């Protein structure tokens, strides 16, 4: 997968655009800035937006090409982001470090998905939030992006189970219109999820 993403991010164009995910931006408006983690952050659009809003931003991805573009975008906007090259299964952060962890189209194979989501819970401070926008199985009918592997698409039941123990504030399956660079365009079937660590 690393080679796939390095190739995808390897040209000058920001393939998902430079502006943040709409849901992510809306959710940040409701929160007091603190420390936020963005797994699988790619070219940095959400990390840079959070930094502009006053958050201390950490991010990681396996793609060196993604990191280069994220740091370039941060420099263009005069903000700092702390961006690691690492894998979601091996990356280490201290427990109770973050006020928010945001998974924006971070899709994992079933064998590791739950493990990664549960690691994220340990990284959250009490009162911290998980923010998540992902594709659901109906997305296979659309041409607006996302995995073409059914097993990597998420359902509400999966998310309830993965984040058991958190207080769920929002869990909805929706059809939206995506407009995020050339790889996220058009009708999309997604899930929005917000939950708080007690």
pLDDT band for position 2 (cuts 50, 70, 90): confident
Residue 171 banded pLDDT, cuts 50, 70, 90: very high
94: phi then psi, degrees, rounded to nearest 5:
-65, 150
Beta bridge partners of 170: 194
* Percent helix / strand / coil, the chain, rounded to 5: 35, 30, 35
Torsion of CA 183, 152, 176, 184, to 10 degrees: 0
Alpha carbon distance, N-terminus to C-terminus of the chain:
35
Cα(195)–Cα(198) distance, rounded to whole angstroms? 10
Q: What is the mean pLDDT of the chain?
A: 97
Q: What's the domain range around 53? A: 2-196
Compute the C-alpha angle 142/144/146, nearest 5°.
90
Classify residue 42 as left (phi > 0), alpha (psi -120 to 50) or beta.
Answer: left
* Total number of domains constituting the chain: 1
pLDDT level of residue 90 (50, 70, 90 thresholds): very high
Element (H, E) at 101: strand 98-104
User: What confidence category does residue 164 fall into, taking pLDDT thresholds of 50, 70 and 90?
Assistant: very high
Distance CA 21, CA 40 (A): 14
Question: pLDDT (tens digit, 9 = 90+) per residue, 8-56?
Answer: 999 889 999 999 999 999 999 999 999 999 999 999 999 999 999 999 9
Domain CATH code at residue 172: 3.40.50.150
Q: Residue 177 above 80 pLDDT?
A: yes
């Amino acid at each position: 997968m690393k080679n796939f993403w390095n190739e995808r991010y390897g040209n000058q164009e920001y393939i998902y655009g430079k502006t943040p995910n709409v849901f992510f931006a809306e959710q940040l408006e409701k929160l007091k800035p603190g420390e936020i983690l963005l797994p699988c952050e790619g070219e940095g659009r959400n990390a840079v937006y959070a930094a502009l809003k006053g958050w201390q931003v950490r991010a990681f991805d396996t793609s060196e090409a993604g990191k280069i573009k994220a740091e370039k975008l941060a420099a263009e906007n005069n903000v700092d982001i702390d961006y690691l090259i690492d894998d979601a299964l091996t990356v280490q952060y201290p427990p109770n470090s973050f006020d928010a962890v945001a998974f924006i189209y971070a899709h994992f194979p079933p064998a590791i998905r739950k493990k990664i989501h549960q690691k994220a819970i340990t990284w959250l401070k009490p009162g911290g939030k998980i923010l998540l926008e992902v594709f659901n199985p109906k997305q296979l009918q659309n041409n607006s992006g996302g995995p073409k592997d059914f097993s990597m698409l998420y359902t509400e039941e999966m998310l309830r189970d993965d984040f058991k123990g958190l207080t769920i504030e929002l869990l909805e399956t929706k059809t939206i219109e995506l407009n995020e660079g050339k790889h996220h365009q058009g009708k999309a079937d997604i899930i929005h999820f917000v939950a708080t660590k007690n």
